[in-house]
Structure 1
Amino acid sequence: MPEGDVVWRSAQRLHAALAGRALERSDLRWPSLATVDLRGRVVDEVVSRGKHLLLRVGDGDGTDQPLTLHSHLRMEGSWHVHATGQPWRTARAAHGVRAVLANAEWTAVGHRLGMLDLVPTAEEARLVGHLGPDVLGPGWGPGAVTRVVDALLAHPGRHVGEALLDQRVLAGVGTYFMAEALFLRGVSPWTPAGELGEDGLRALVVLERRLLEAGTRDVAHGSLGYVHARSGQPCRRCGTTVRVAPIGVAPQERSAFYCPRCQPGPTPTDGGAPQAPLGARREVRRR
């Protein structure tokens, strides 16, 4: 699933292409929004909030209220910007398009979006008000770090890996940045959050910010990780086989990748079964 850095970059691209210009095309291919027409409205700004993307449009001729088009990429979604008038359907299947917004110069196309909503801008909290501090938000600072640490300490017995994935605690972190930060801190994902203490949690949260901030500049970071998506392969640091196991409570489990040697501590009850590299084809036994 795209994480906060990917959504942040998407918001930056959309803002650069659409902000300050009136929409000349509005095609929302979503059942509840099929009749919505945003043509004539000026895009005020496009911002990210954790893994959520908010495209805010003005009131057009002054008779309508400002609106926010909210999208979430979920697992496969993406936004792409093309020069208006240039073909774009060859790059992505047309049946996967969920939104097309265009001005005279640029066309933004949303592919396989997981969520698409339109609400009055004044009511955005209905969609994102539950989120914790945004690790890449403009309001990030010592106060935000303290709020995250306090939220983690409020449930000291909760696995720290699971807690970091809770968007109500910290908005923008997904399985990639959870796994990589815990590896760099030498912490098992199944360690109770309270065992890290206030200082340990603060250092972890600060590291999450640093990693995601780097991700806004490095689009290839996902291929350079220490443990994420590397189960069955040797740890880049010690050579021990990297493992993966579910973390969280059903049906919301997520995959947690870790190195048993570099991240000592509690481990999942997976019996230590051998694990092939992620994506490897299993050998079929002949009877």
Structure 2
Amino acid sequence: MPEGDTVWRTAQRLHAALAGKPIIESDLRWPSLATADVTGRATLEVCSRGKHLLHRLEGGITLHSHLRMEGQWRIEATPTLAARWRRSADLRALVAAADWAALGLRLGMLDLVPTARESELVGHLGPDVLGPDWDPEVAVSNVLASTATVGGALLDQRNLAGLGTLWTAETLFLERVHPWAVAAELGPTVVERLVARAHRLLEGARVDVVQTSTGSRRRGETAYVHGRSGRPCRRCGGLVRVAPIGPPMRERTMFYCPTCQGGLGPTDDGRRQVPLGSSGRRR
């Protein structure tokens, strides 16, 4: 699932392409929006709220979308927009101005609501790590109030919005915190460090297409633990592992180093893990 920095950059691209321009063509391929038409309305702004996108239009209407696992918004030149895009089974939304068109592909959510009621869709979110409402004290308080594991608490968008599995895993590794530690038992000092680290990582990532926590932009060297199960830890040389984290039916993947972060997670069976992409069988 795209992280908050990716969604923030998507909002910036959409805003640059469409802001201030009237919509000349719209096609919303979503069951509840089959008859909706925003043609003739000008785009006021496109902004992100955590992992949500809010496309605000004239007349007090907001087109809300969420990318989920595979979604994306693609920008194409309207005058040369290929017919194949209009025929694509992946197309969920087309919003075009005279010069640029925004194509919503494989979107996970799509809603058209009065702008005054946006809170019904995003009001449950905690402070946005990359938003004007960012408040580290509230984020820390929310995490400390959680009865979940700290990994689960950081991933819970109700505590702070924008963190996904990549930046959560990298934050916990850099601060040497066990992902399955109970958030409420860590104490304010540790949680304050985690929240500050996460904020720095996303702030750095939102201006760079390459998501890197190591400082390297070379392929395969951008992360310390995320996506590196079965490979040597860059800090201690032990093997990085991956295990599920979170409540049943809502588990997420957590990459971590048992040596640097306090041992195996309770959901990790300890069996050998081969590197991602390897053809070797897990034994």
Give the TM bin, normalised by the shorter chain.
over 0.9
Residue identity matched to 2:187: G
Aligned residue among 258, 265, 268 for 1:267: 265
1:217 aligns with 2:207: yes
Between 1:210-219 and 1:40-49, the stretch displaced more is 210-219
Aligned residue among 139, 158, 176 for 2:133: 139
Q: Would the alpha carbon gap of residues 71 and 229 (structure 1) be closer, same or farther in structure 2, given more than 3 Å must change?
A: same
Tell me the residue number matched to 2:39.
Answer: 39
Tell me the residue number matched to 2:16.
Answer: 16
**Taking structure 1 as the reference length, what is the TM-score of the superposition?**
0.91
Residue identity matched to 1:3: E
Q: CA deviation at 1:279?
A: 2.8
Q: SS of the counterpart of 1:8? A: helix
C-alpha distance in 2 between matches for 1:14 and 1:101: 10
C-alpha distance in 1 between matches for 2:55 and 2:112: 9
Q: SS of the counterpart of 2:80? A: coil
C-alpha distance in 2 between matches for 1:118 and 1:284: 45
Alignment of 1:1-287 (within 5 A): 1-59=1-59, 66-88=60-82, 94-140=88-134, 144-155=135-146, 157-221=147-211, 224-264=222-262, 267-283=265-281
Question: What is the root-mean-square deviation in Å for CA atoms of aligned residues?
Answer: 1.9
Count the aligned residue pairs: 275
Residue identity matched to 1:259: C
Between 1:80-89 and 1:238-247, the stretch displaced more is 80-89
Q: CA deviation at 1:170?
A: 0.6
C-alpha distance in 2 between matches for 1:49 and 1:89: 32
Q: Would the alpha carbon gap of residues 148 and 185 (structure 1) be closer, same or farther in structure 2, given more than 3 Å must change?
A: same
In the alignment, structure 1 segments of 5+ residues that lack a partner are 60-65
C-alpha distance in 2 between matches for 1:29 and 1:92: 11
Q: Would the alpha carbon gap of residues 271 and 92 (structure 1) be closer, same or farther in structure 2, given more than 3 Å must change?
A: farther
C-alpha distance in 2 between matches for 1:169 and 1:72: 18
**Taking structure 2 as the reference length, what is the TM-score of the superposition?**
0.92
Q: CA deviation at 1:89?
A: 6.2
C-alpha distance in 1 between matches for 2:227 and 2:267: 20
Between 1:270-279 and 1:120-129, the stretch displaced more is 270-279
Q: Percent identity?
A: 58
In the alignment, structure 2 segments of 5+ residues that lack a partner are 213-219
